[in-house]
Every structure is written in C-alpha cells, then in structure tokens.
Structure 1
Amino acid sequence: MTESAAPPRLDVGVTEMILCPVEVVADYASDPTHAPEWYANISEVVWQTPPPLQVGTEVAFVARFLGRELRYTYAIVEHTPESLVMRTAQGPFPMETSYGYESMPDGTTRMTLRNRGTPSGFSRVVAPFVRIAMTRATSKDLAALKQILERA
C-alpha cells in the first residue's frame, strides 16, 4: 500500500488544567456513569459487565456526532490512578480513548483526553473535517468537566 493510499488516522489530544486534586479528577472522569454529564455528545451509558471499572470491563455508549447517532462499546484495557484507556470492542470504526491524569505541584491536575482511530466508510472520506470537529468537541467536553469539578 502506498503512503497516499493509507487510511487517514485520527489522533486528537486536548489538555486542561483542573483546579482539583488528581484523585478527585480521576475518580469522577474515569466513572463512565458520569460521561453524559460532561460529554455533550453522549446521551446514554450502559454497563455491559458489572461495575466496578477494571481491565476487561465493557461499557456501551450512545452518542451523536456530526448529525449521526453512534452506538459503540468500549473495553477497558488499562486503568490506573494516572490513566484510563478504552478501545472499541464494537462500533462504527476502531477507536481508542485515553485519559491521562497528572498531579501538578500546586495541587491542580493536568488532564489529557486523547482519541485515536482509523475511520472507515463515510467517516474516512471526511476525516479532516472529523479531526477538526473532534478537537472542538473534546475541548468543550474537558472545559465542561473542569467547570463541574471546580464547582463541587
């Protein structure tokens, strides 16, 4: 396969400083039950395996993105106090979402939210637009998370 024929790869990462201890941020953000509260596009979360969240847990999400309803299931592949990594077990295209939590010297938390994947079908055709939309949405979602946690 030539370089130009390779499928477009999405890799969108956004970072936000949250004025809360890392444990508070990680506990809240890593709980899928809270996702509809801070992800504007996620409307429903259904545990496919019983809580608590751990490696092997599967969680189904219903979201709207670019005017389309998306249904996908993530499998938890890493869960530590510093990170959460989820990969699609079922969905429109392979995607990995990772959260990174870094405690800063002043007691705040640097959170990084990263989405990586290889779109297929229609999403592949519009990948450059999807990247821009994902960056915008991810920035808004982290800003919403920051507002929720700093208000608490």
Structure 2
Amino acid sequence: MRLSKRKAGFKKGTASPKKGKTVAFPTVAGNKYVRLEKKAFERRVHTSNNVLTFKDTDGTDTTVSALRPRPNAFNVVDEYSGCGDESLHPDLYTNKLMVQAKVHALFNSAFKKHRHDKPNCEGDLNFDAANSVRWGMGWRERLKCT
C-alpha cells in the first residue's frame, strides 16, 4: 500500500471551499480617536502591572484605546529659542555625516577657484544649504560666497 502526502478530502485542481466568499468585519460607529499631546497623555495614563489605565477628567477609570501621544505643541519659549543667526539657512545647524577627506578637497578646490575667479573678493565661503542633496548616509554639498 502506497502512502500519499495529500489529504483525503482535497483533490488536485479543485477550488477552495472559501473561494468567492467575502468576510464582513463588524464596523464600530461613533468612536472618535484623538491623539493627546505628550503632557496630557502622561497626566491621564497610569501604569500598574504593565497595564495602562486611563483616568477621565473627574478621576474615574475609563476604557479607551491607547494611541501613541503626539509631540507637545510649540509654546512661546520654543518659538524664540531657535538658532541665533537668522541670515544663515536653518539646515546649517543640523548634524550631517561627512567624510573629512572629501570636505578638505571641497574647501581647497573652492578656495582656489574663488581666489582665481575673484581675486579682490573679501567674502566668506559657506555651505550652500539650500542646494545640498542627501545621498544615502552622505550629502552632496557646495560652497557659496557671501
């Protein structure tokens, strides 16, 4: 007697018994999902035994779904605590990963070309942040005279 790998109820080439049937998922009407700011989220959510419990405004426990909190809104202090020099592009204050040898070559070639083209220029060469392009982990940069 020869054993077969196929199950007894299924034959090759037959359609699945679930083919053509649709699955209806229950809809939940009336629920409103709101992501709280981080400060409000921390005030209302309490953790005990790795279980999140929510307190309503009157202090009673409520059954709601936890959504990831959104960042805190900007306030007046955040608005005025930016970088000091507004004449420079804001991207010049960000951290970028650069290869030092490439940066040396960029500065040296740009200084020589600028000195050759405009020998009487007293300006400074700065990164042209408006035209920088990100390539994977690195950046394509160029210098611009002030």
Give TM-score, length-normalised by structure 2. 0.22
Which has the higher Rg, Structure 1 or Structure 2?
2
Q: Which protein has the bigger helix share?
A: 1
Q: Which protein has the bigger strand share?
A: 1
Give the number of the structure with larger relative contact order, counting CA–CA contacts within 8 Å between residues 6 or more apart: 1
